[in-house]
Amino acid sequence: MAKRRMTSAAPVISHVVGIGASAGGITALESLFHALPTNPNLAFVVIQHLAPGQPSRLVDLLSNWSAMPVRQAVDGDRPERNRVYIASPDDVLTLEGGEFRTRRRSGFSQS
């Protein structure tokens, strides 16, 4: 009897929530993620306005405020339900064909 081959590709989800915040929006993000249920069946993408090259502590902070796993969005990954993804301040993050695409920001000064 032939074995069925299992694939590990995550199913494409239909609901991704994008959240934009300035550097001063931390309190609002904290309130939001404390209030969300553990399994909202949504993927969340948080983009915080920071200067390129400035370190972000957002993954660590949101990990303390949310029961959902939090990580930086990586090029080629597919967003999964009940996860929080953070955009790097050095990249432009898009969602194309169900996958994250990142590219380095250009045309911005680092002053």
Determine, yes or no, domain membership for 50: yes
Cite the beta strand spans of the chain per DSSP E.
16-21, 43-48, 70-72, 83-86, 91-96, 99-104
Q: What is the pTM of this model?
A: 0.80
Residue 111 in any domain: the answer is no
**Residue 9 CB burial class (10 angstroms; 0-12, 13-18, ≥19):** exposed
Boundaries of domain holding 69: 16-104
As for how many domains the chain has, the answer is 1
| CATH number of the domain to which 44 belongs | 3.40.50.180
Residue 11 resides in a domain: no
Residue 75 is assigned to a structural domain of this protein? yes
Q: Which 3 state secondary structure label does DSSP give 19?
A: strand
Structural domain includes residue 67: yes
In tens, the pLDDT along 7-52 reads 445 555 669 999 999 878 899 999 999 999 989 999 999 998 877 7
Q: Is residue 44 part of a domain?
A: yes
Does residue 7 form part of some domain? no
